[in-house]
Structure 1
Amino acid sequence: MLNSIIGKDKAAAMEKEAKELMKKAKGLTAPSLLELRFKPDWEAAAPMLDKAALLYKQVGNIDKALEAYERAALAQERLGSQWHAAKHYEVIADLSRQQNRPKDTAKFYKMAADYYLECGKPTTAGEVLTRGARVLEESDPEEAVRLYYDALDVYESSERESYGVDAFRAAISFLVRLERWADAVEAQMRFGAVSDKVGARNTQNKAYLGAVVTWLWAGDAEAAWSTFQDAMAVESFANSEEAFAADALFEAYRRKDEAAISSLVKSKALYKQLDHHVARLAVRLPAPSSKVRRMGRKLKRLMADTDPAAEEEGEEGEEGEGYGGEEGEEDGGGAGGEDALL
């Protein structure tokens, strides 16, 4: 298509020029006794390689453009210009994406980020990794996840957490879409911790509430309660509206009251204000696949361990309710069984 836009003759001339530049640059990077050159002349070769790469890209010869950009990046490395090498690797990553080469795309985005780190640009490195993760979400989810984690690590290790908000949110949304619940919760708890570090209390509280919601949607009452207890150790969360909202949600689950759960998440604006994909889970609680009765029994025991009053109430409730009868109702099917709720 590019050839037809540029014109066949002009495209041919551009390719010929690019080929000649590549040949000259190759000669400059090889020792020559005739020219009394005993080491590669990267300084002279670099602009030739840059121009050749651009010409190949402009005429749509992606394979040749990739070769030229890689040699141009190498030239910049040899010259000690990590910034320009990183810029070239970004272009190579994008060209690899156009060629549907996800592994190469991930590799070159990572190389670009590494060179940005070398020249003291951690924020740019994090942005590049996040951008790479986003473009790989459909074609290679596993590589996308790895790049997201690399981006989060860069922001945290360089103490540039305040610049990593978009990366955290994108990673959390993607992990939720993949239904990788444990990873999504881990990312939310990390987001909460870095938000605390930069004084973003509202963001922190929403991240912790979102982590609880994620585990409840996944049907893991014990993990949800454990996560909540970890978050409650943070004073600013313990006194927040989000903490009270989570506590009310646990109480509704403890009572095994699906109508109360649904009413609660629909009536409280806090649940709708969570990050987009987590909010979508919240307002649809309880999850159709979750075992609400089983979760309720588990929470009754867990909550009793932290609340003497709840323990006394739980013992009285268990005497009248009887575990055997409820298990039979849930596992045996019938109109009142769990399957009837799906």
Structure 2
Amino acid sequence: MAASDPEKLMIKGDKLTQLSLTRWSADWKSATLLYEQAGRLAKNYEKAKAAFEKASKGQEMLSSPWDAAKHLESAAALAKELGSWSEVADFYRRASELYNECGRSQPASDALARVLLRITSKNLIVIHHGESVTIPVLEDNAPDEAIRLYTDACDILEEDGKEQMAFDLYRAATSVYVKLEKYADAATFLLRWGLAADKCNATHSQCKVYLSAIIVYLFANDLKQAEKCYNDCCQIEAFLSSDQNRCASKLLSAYSDGDVEEIKRVAQSSTIKNLDHMVCLENWV
């Protein structure tokens, strides 16, 4: 009976990790197996979460950061079901750190990003590395925390020279900034994306995000900063000869002249409509 009772398994596991007059060293191997079993059997989300967190600690003590990270992701999924968003973020961040210990930058970044994808429904089921994964919604519940996690995930991939894998993260972070009406931050992140695109020779993406950054400044009614951004981007040869450059030039001229009809016309161009991240221009006119 005890073998199928999560609470008794947890108690037994705890005893194996506590030192006493008769136990001079903790038996983390046996305790971890008990915690893992308790996590799988527990029907109560809170108890299952606690079990997987302890199982993660056990795997750390056994020098197995990969398995420890996996258990933290399980704990994060349960914290999401409980609506404990601060724990969700904390578990995924700790999982990311453990994946990094294994020298695995992509899973480390994924652990941060997995909690962040913004969706309209409560959950999204995706196939991730061959597994069915539930992605909880953090952007709508804790947008500032989402920004921090996106930034951390980008940092991990950039440090490992894998900027191409961070494109979805740049896009998503920009979206959150725009939603929060932090337009200067959104433009800054777009320019960071442009630099990353330059490093991996993604010229078309680079030009598109530069145009997006200019649009964000115009959307914020900051013509001066938009023009400065445009002039800076024109120092990049690829942008100077691009369709995005010509579109930006027309848009800046129309905005400077207060030509509403021209703004509308340019806003409807395929160059703007095909941007990965486009700010709605309706409020301009």
**TM-score normalised to the size of structure 1?**
0.74
How far does the alpha carbon of each residue in 1:3-48 deviate from its partner, in whole angstroms, 9 at most, with x for none? Answer: xxxxxxxxxx6895222222221222123443xx321111121111
- Residue number among 20, 36, 41 corresponding to 2:8 in the alignment: 20
Q: Matches of 2:8 and 2:80 in 1, distance apart? A: 27
- Give the 5 Å matches for 1:156-175: 156-175=158-177
What is residue 50 of structure 1 aligned with on the other side?
Answer: 36
Gaps of 5+ in 1: 1-12, 289-342
What is residue 131 of structure 2 aligned with on the other side?
Answer: none
Given that residues 175 and 183 in structure 1 are in contact (C-alpha distance below 8 angstroms), is that contact kept between their aligned partners in structure 2?
A: yes
What is residue 148 of structure 1 aligned with on the other side?
Answer: 150
Q: Matches of 2:182 and 2:157 in 1, distance apart? A: 22
Q: Matches of 1:22 and 1:204 in 2, distance apart? A: 52
Displacement of 1:71: 1.0
Displacement of 1:260: 1.3
Pair 1:24–1:274, CA change in 2 (3 A): same
Displacement of 1:65: 1.1
Identity among equivalent pairs (%): 36
Describe the SS at the equivalent of 1:271. Answer: helix
Structure 2 counterpart of 1:197, which letter?
A: K
What is residue 270 of structure 2 aligned with on the other side?
Answer: 269
- Residue number among 225, 228, 248 corresponding to 1:226 in the alignment: 228
Q: Matches of 1:19 and 1:93 in 2, distance apart? A: 20
Pair 1:15–1:265, CA change in 2 (3 A): farther
Pair 1:20–1:189, CA change in 2 (3 A): same
Describe the SS at the equivalent of 1:80. Answer: coil
Q: How many residues align?
A: 266
Q: Matches of 2:2 and 2:231 in 1, distance apart? A: 65
Given that residues 53 and 69 in structure 1 are in contact (C-alpha distance below 8 angstroms), is that contact kept between their aligned partners in structure 2?
A: yes
**TM-score normalised to the size of structure 2?**
0.88
Describe the SS at the equivalent of 1:139. Answer: coil
- Residue number among 184, 192, 208 corresponding to 1:182 in the alignment: 184
How far does the alpha carbon of each residue in 1:169-228 deviate from its partner, in whole angstroms, 9 at most, with x for none? Answer: 111222222221011101110111101110110100000000001111110001111111
What is residue 284 of structure 2 aligned with on the other side?
Answer: 287
Matched, 1:30 2:18: yes
What is residue 99 of structure 1 aligned with on the other side?
Answer: 82
Structure 2 counterpart of 1:31, which letter?
A: L
Q: Matches of 1:15 and 1:137 in 2, distance apart? A: 40
Residue range with higher mean Cα deviation, 200-209 or 150-159: 150-159
What is residue 65 of structure 2 aligned with on the other side?
Answer: 82
> Stretches of 4+ moved more than 4 A in 1?
13-16
- Give the 5 Å matches for 1:130-141: 130-134=113-117, 135-141=137-143
Matched, 1:122 2:105: yes
Describe the SS at the equivalent of 1:65. Answer: helix
Residue range with higher mean Cα deviation, 174-183 or 120-129: 174-183
Pair 1:156–1:136, CA change in 2 (3 A): same
Given that residues 50 and 75 in structure 2 are in contact (C-alpha distance below 8 angstroms), is that contact kept between their aligned partners in structure 1?
A: no
Describe the SS at the equivalent of 2:140. Answer: coil
Structure 1 counterpart of 2:206, which letter?
A: Q
Pair 1:14–1:230, CA change in 2 (3 A): farther
Structure 2 counterpart of 1:96, which letter?
A: A
How far does the alpha carbon of each residue in 1:303-342 deviate from its partner, in whole angstroms, 9 at most, with x for none? Answer: xxxxxxxxxxxxxxxxxxxxxxxxxxxxxxxxxxxxxxxx
- Give the 5 Å matches for 1:246-265: 246-265=248-267
- As a proportion of its length, which structure holds more helix? 1
